[in-house]
């Protein structure tokens, strides 16, 4: 029996640039 | 009598459990504040990538898509952030290139996609992601790896560039070859003081340093080959460009010195088992220019031989070298205008760009061939020095 026969759910990903906008950190360098 | 029975270690599934609120602490300790020269030295190569992937596996196991997304976003942004902060440090960039690639390889190796499972052990197959398909995130990570690679090349260039002209052209290691300096030619000195002058040895030492850093960080052998090819391209292009601009570099003896230097670089490739990475080929225009300085340049037969020998140089470059060629010793002669005309006529039908100088900023396209690991995730232990005690092995 194959342990991973269940189809996985595709997680849509933002682009690298879009991801930057979601930055969760406070930028220490910015005023 | 008490018997010392070794306790069987708990069976782990190769996952790391973490609380949602510890996600920032995780990326802070493992990415933002980790010094490649500090605790990272004694770790197994790629350990941060494995740890992050084991955390991701746990979020996947919980079937918590928000936790998976949040972790991936934090990881990617933290890597970008550390590279923004320390992007001029070769070690930091090499370290995160190795770990980003390892993380990407893990996402493939444990994706459940058969094409990436060929080399997995049955235990590794049990560690595949069970709920989510992260194909799109793999693309984002691959884009990130390309950015880091380009940054690594820039970083390497900044270190190497100041050494090239001095080490490849100006510094003479073959004693007594150059003989008398061509009259009327000023000996150009670089802005570096004599004791700071770079030699071919400085270049080779620097290549060794780049190579050992990249190996120690666990960068893939195929990736290291691409970096070395790019390094050799830069060395060849900067050297040739300077030769094409400097009369004092266009003599028979400089040809000899350049050929010797190139042979040392080839020897370095051989030592490192990198002869088939395309690096040597990038030096071809420089090798031909050095040969051009040394061959006879008089008869029609000489012209024919030069045209077939210099197939990696453009007509503009060949003509320029011939024009700049400066006799140093009595047995050498200046190249006649008629000879140069003959060469130009012979090469008239070549289809090529009229550009004289090589573009030293060109970066060859990079690829990250899949490189699965034989390491079993359930055997990975986290050193205390990483300050990740809030993670629980599952």
DSSP state of B365: P
Residues B87 and B41 sit within 8 Å (Cβ to Cβ): no
* Nearest neighbour of B133 by CB, restricted to A3, A11, A25: A11
Look up residue B185 and give its two tokens: 């030619």
CA distance A30 to chain B (A): 13
* Mean pLDDT of the region B247-257: 95
In angstroms, rounded to a whole number, what is the distance separating the alpha carbons of residues B361 and B153? 10
Residues B101-151: tens digit of each pLDDT: 999 999 999 999 999 999 999 999 999 999 999 999 999 999 999 999 999
Residues B96 and B45 sit within 8 Å (Cβ to Cβ): no
Residues A1-31: tens digit of each pLDDT: 455 567 899 999 999 988 877 755 555 544 4
Query: Hey, of B20, B24, B74, which one would you mutate to test binding to chain A, going by the most A CBs within 10 A of its CB?
Result: B74
**Of B281, B288, B258, B283, which Cα lies nearest the Cα of B167?**
B258
> pLDDT value at position A20?
76
In angstroms, rounded to a whole number, what is the distance separating the alpha carbons of residues B20 and B374? 30
- Cβ neighbors of B43 (< 8 A, separation 6 or more) are B383
Helix residue ranges per DSSP H, B197-251: 200-216, 221-245
- At residue B372's C-alpha, the angle toward residues B368 and B376, to 5°, is 145
Q: Do B76 and A19 touch (CB under 8 A)?
A: yes
Per the listing, tokens 């029996």 go with: A1
At residue B371, does pLDDT exceed 90?
Answer: yes
As beta bridge partners, residue A10 has B133
* Nearest neighbour of B77 by CB, restricted to A3, A11, A25: A25
Q: Do A11 and B132 touch (CB under 8 A)?
A: yes
CB contacts, 8 Å: A4 with chain B: 112, 125, 128, 130
Q: Which residues of B touch A (CB under 8 A)?
A: 24, 65, 68-70, 72-74, 76-78, 80-81, 112, 125-126, 128-137, 139-140, 143-144, 147
> pLDDT value at position B2?
61
CA distance B221 to chain A (A): 26
A1 vs B: CB within 8 A: no
> pLDDT value at position B39?
77
As beta bridge partners, residue A9 has B132
pLDDT-derived band at B179, boundaries 50, 70, 90: low
CA distance A31 to chain B (A): 16
* Nearest neighbour of B136 by CB, restricted to A11, A20, A22: A11
Compute the residue count for chain B. Answer: 394
Looking at per-residue pLDDT, the higher value among B232 and B332 belongs to: B232
pLDDT-derived band at B193, boundaries 50, 70, 90: very low
* Mean pLDDT of the region B42-57: 96
- B311-339 exposure pattern, b = at least 16 Cβ within 10 A, e = fewer: eebbbbbbbbbbebbbebeeebeebeeeb
In angstroms, rounded to a whole number, what is the distance separating the alpha carbons of residues B343 and B315? 8
- In chain A, the residue whose alpha carbon lies closest to the alpha carbon of B82 is A27
A22 vs B: CB within 8 A: yes
Residues B380 and B6 sit within 8 Å (Cβ to Cβ): no
- Own/partner contacts of B316-321, CB < 8 Å, gap of 24 or more, are B316/B354, B316/B355, B316/B356, B317/B240, B317/B244, B317/B285, B317/B289, B317/B356, B318/B292, B318/B343, B318/B347, B319/B343, B319/B344, B320/B244, B320/B356, B321/B243, B321/B244, B321/B250, B321/B289, B321/B292, B321/B293
């Amino acid at each position: 029996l194959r342990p991973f026969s269940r189809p996985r759910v595709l997680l849509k990903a933002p682009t690298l640039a879009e991801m930057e906008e979601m930055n969760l950190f406070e930028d220490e360098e910015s005023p | 009598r008490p018997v010392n029975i070794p306790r069987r270690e708990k069976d782990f599934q190769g996952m790391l459990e973490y609380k949602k609120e510890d996600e920032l602490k995780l990326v802070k300790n493992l990415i933002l504040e980790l010094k490649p020269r500090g605790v990272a030295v004694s770790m197994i190569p790629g350990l941060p990538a494995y740890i992050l992937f084991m955390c991701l596996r746990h979020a996947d196991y919980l079937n918590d898509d928000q936790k998976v997304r949040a972790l991936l976003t934090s990881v990617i942004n933290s890597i970008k952030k550390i590279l923004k902060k320390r992007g001029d440090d070769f070690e930091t960039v090499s370290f995160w290139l190795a770990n980003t690639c390892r993380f990407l390889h893990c996402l493939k190796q444990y994706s459940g996609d058969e094409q990436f499972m060929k080399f997995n052990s049955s235990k590794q197959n049990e560690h595949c992601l069970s709920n989510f398909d992260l194909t799109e995130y793999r693309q984002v990570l691959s884009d990130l790896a390309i950015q880091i690679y380009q940054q690594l090349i820039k970083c390497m260039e900044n270190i190497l560039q100041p050494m090239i002209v001095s080490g490849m052209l100006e510094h003479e290691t073959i004693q007594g070859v150059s003989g008398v300096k061509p009259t009327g030619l000023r000996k150009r000195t670089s802005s570096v003081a004599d004791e700071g002058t770079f030699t071919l040895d400085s270049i080779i030492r620097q290549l060794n340093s780049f190579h050992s850093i990249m190996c120690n960080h666990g960068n893939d052998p195929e990736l290291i080959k691409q970096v070395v090819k790019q390094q050799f391209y830069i060395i060849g292009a900067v050297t040739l460009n300077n030769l094409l601009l400097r009369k004092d570099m266009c003599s028979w003896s400089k040809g000899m010195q350049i050929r010797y230097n190139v042979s040392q670089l080839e020897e370095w490739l051989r030592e490192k088992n990198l002869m088939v990475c395309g690096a040597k080929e990038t030096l071809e225009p420089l090798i031909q220019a050095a040969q051009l300085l040394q061959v006879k340049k008089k008869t029609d037969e000489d012209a024919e031989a030069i045209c077939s020998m210099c197939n990696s140089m453009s007509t503009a470059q060949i003509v320029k070298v011939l024009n700049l060629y400066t006799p140093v010793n009595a047995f050498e002669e200046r190249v006649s205008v008629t000879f140069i005309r003959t060469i130009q006529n012979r090469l008239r039908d070549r289809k090529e760009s009229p550009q004289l100088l090589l573009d030293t900023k060109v970066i060859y396209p990079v690829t990250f061939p899949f490189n699965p690991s034989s390491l079993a995730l359930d055997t990975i232990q986290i050193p205390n020095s990483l300050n990740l005690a809030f993670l629980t092995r599952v």
